[in-house]
Amino acid sequence: MKIQDVLATNVREEFTPLHDPFNAGYSRSAFWFRFTLERGKGFPGKGWLRFSPSYLDEVTIYIPLPAKDPMRGSSYRAISLGMMVPAEKMPVRHPEFVAPIDLDIDKPVTVYVRVFSNSSINLTGYLHTDKDLMEYTSQYVFRQSAYLGIALMIALMNLMLYAAVRSTQFFYFSLYVFTSLITFLTIKGMHILLFPSLPPIVPNMVSGMVSGGGLIVFALFALSLFKDMGFPLSSLFLKLMIPVGLLSMLAVPFGMYAMIMPWVMKLSFVLIAVIIWMSFRGFVQEPRYWITYLLAFSLNGLSYIVLFLQNLGVLSTQFSGINTFQLSSLVNILLIFLAMTARLRRGELRVLENTRLSEQRAIEMAQVMTQELKENKERLEVSLVAEHQSSARLQRFLVMLSHEYRTPLAVIQGNIDLLERQILKYCTDCQDEFLKMRRAIGRLVEVMEVSLDQSRITEPKVRGEQQCFSIDRFVAQQINTVRLMWPEKTFQFEDFTDERLLQGDLPLLNTALFNLLDNARKYSPLSAPVVVSCKIKEHTAEVIITNATDSPVPDDSETLFEKYRRGANALGVGGAGIGLWLVREIASQYGGSIQLRYRNEGIVTATLMLPLFSDSSKCKKL
């Protein structure tokens, strides 16, 4: 309908008298209003009409022109206001809808107003003088600026707290405060003052979409707040509100906001009830902590009920629901923020207390450990004294051994020489027997020399006489020795020709190889040969000793290289458990190593690896 249609007689008679502020809810219809103003004495000739709320899409005011026929549409001046009207086309830049009006002292002025909006439709009108409007505007701007400033400060503080402690509660709550701030910025008309050049469609769409976004982030905040309370159905409903909020956001650009919004508000009403119920359950479990949350959500829920019923057109807007809801939202934000910071502070105090207790326990443990270290130090000192005494006794024993051992060997050696001269005259076949005896005496002398120079084994820095010798001669000499000592055992030496040399203390290296050959003999059947071969790999010489065995080697063959450690197959076999340990100690002095491997076929392979000598001109070759 146009103004001319409204002025028709049959339509004029259809106006319904109003005794309270108008409220039609989400009607998606246009409404016409008519009222008459009579100027009293003392009221100025010029005044200002003000209409609220400021989130209406279209508000057109028709003011009669002086000395014109009031029954003709052309006799009225149309003033367009509303969120869909650009700021520059409004008669005055004001957060609410304000239009000037001239009042005649002699006759009343009848004004017509047309209202349409996709949101909830309600209308309240006021008449102001210049001074009265300025005072009201100042107070209005101050209240809205205070709200926006406080909300912005809380939102930024929550973002800083999120950056500091990485708690999603602070992040979602800051987003919720931001959406509330933007929503009230638009529905209270403050964008007209802050962003006057914005196209009118922008704040209108932002208001609707941000409201849906606020529903999403509030549901996420509630989920993070109540996640540890064990309410599966309530959590499921909170998750359901996320797509509901998304649906309300999409309804704005598709022109379905007025149809979907009543259902969204009803679900939001249920959301508030669920939040209050969960807060009450938390209050029952921990009153001191949840009392603030319960007060915050209860107060906000009560104001939301009023706004919800007003937007549906059930309650009158005589007491502005949007103002009450804005105030309660601010109190709600402040209370929640205080509760969250108090919780964070209590958590910090608990951490400090736990830290203090941990430090106290650490001091106590340090004292106990200090006492234990002191006792261990005393025991170690006693052990060192005992070890020094034992070492001294060992040295005395070795000195005695060197004296007592050499004399019998010399006597035996001399008697063998005499016997050999006499017996070989009558027994020419006894030459091999005398050779065996000489080999055995030579072996005893070698063992004695190694024992007397035991420090060369346990201290790698201490070296005996360094000699150069060929690999094949070194191995062949030990093969001949063991063949003479145990002629019943077969020792096979695969041909090897290589002129590269080894360097080291020959008696020590002979002892290492002899121990490996002795082990292969002892732990293999008498009929099974011991096979010895040599290889060269890069700068390393490998002496490989292979023998069959009746008993498997342990899975962790490395343990056999420990001092005094013998395998399970050593039962009934002579030995003290130091042979392989001695081999590893000797090999490590020269940068070498020893490996022991067992195959499922019952074959044991011991590999002695020694580095080759690169400069043969600097040593004496044997």
Q: Is it the case that residue 48 has pLDDT exceeding 90?
A: yes
CA angle 431, 432, 433 (to 5 degrees): 90
Asked whether the predicted pLDDT for residue 461 surpasses 50, the reply is: no
Q: Is the pLDDT of residue 554 over 90?
A: no
Q: What is the pLDDT of residue 494?
A: 85
94 and 153: one domain? no
Helix axes 431-452, 471-485, angle to 10 degrees: 120
Asked if pLDDT for residue 605 goes beyond 50, the answer is yes
99: three-class secondary structure by DSSP:
strand
Which residues are CB-contacts of 339 (< 8 A; sequence separation ≥ 6)?
Answer: 289, 292, 293, 296
The Cα–Cα gap between 341 and 159 comes to: 13
Most confident of 61-65, 71-75, 269-273: 61-65
The answer to whether residue 111 scores a pLDDT higher than 90 is yes
Query: Residues 506, 612: contact at Cβ < 8 Å?
Result: no
111 assigned to some structural domain: yes
Domain final position from 307, 331, 353:
353
Residue 239 sits in the same domain as residue 91: no
What are the distances in angstroms from CA 264 to CA 23, 33, 208, 278, 358? 19, 29, 12, 21, 51
pLDDT at residue 462, as a whole number: 42
24 occurs within a structural domain: yes
Q: Tell me what percent of the chain is helix, strand and coil, each rounded to the nearest 5.
A: 60, 15, 25
Percent of the chain with pLDDT over 90: 17
Answer whether residue 68 is part of any domain. yes
pLDDT digit string, tens, across residues 413-446: 667 777 777 776 677 677 677 777 777 776 666 6
Assess if residue 31 is contained within a domain: yes
**Are residues 295 and 163 located together in one domain of the fold?**
yes
> Of the residues 289, 320, 353, which one is the last residue of a structural domain?
353
Q: What's the confidence (pLDDT) of residue 403? A: 47
Per residue in 585-612, is it b (16+ CB within 10 Å) or e — as a string?
bbbebbebebebebeeebebebbbbbbb
191 and 214 in a single domain? The answer is: yes
Ordered alpha helix ranges (H), 188-251: 191-194, 201-225, 232-251
**Mean per-residue pLDDT, 354-366:** 86
Amino acid letter at 562? E
Question: Final residue of a domain: which of 128, 155, 177?
Answer: 128
Q: How far apart, in whole angstroms, are the C-alpha atoms of residue 311 and residue 268? A: 13
Please enumerate in sequence order all residues whose Cβ is within 8 A of that of 458, keeping only pairs 6 or more positions apart, or say none.
585
DSSP letters of 578-611? -HHHHHHHHHHHTT-EEEEEEETTTEEEEEEEEE
38 within some domain? yes
The count of structural domains within the chain is: 3
Both 11 and 106 in a single domain?
yes
Q: What is the mean pLDDT of the chain?
A: 81
**576/499: higher pLDDT:** 499
| Lowest mean pLDDT segment, chosen from 3-17, 91-105, 426-440 | 426-440
State whether residue 198 is helix, strand or coil.
Answer: coil
Cα–Cα distance, 582 to 512 (Å, whole number): 7
CA–CA separation, 143 and 163 (whole Å): 30
Q: Tens digits of per-residue pLDDT, 161-194?
A: 999 888 888 999 999 999 988 888 888 888 888 8
DSSP state of 113: E
Spatial distance between the Cα atoms of 69 and 47, rounded to a whole number of angstroms: 22
Q: Are residues 302 and 340 in the same domain?
A: yes
Share above pLDDT 70 across residues of the chain, in percent, rounded to a whole number: 84
pTM of the model: 0.54
pLDDT at 410: 58
The domain of 536 spans: 466-618
CATH number for the domain harbouring residue 554? 3.30.565.10
In this structure, are 550 and 599 located in the same domain?
A: yes
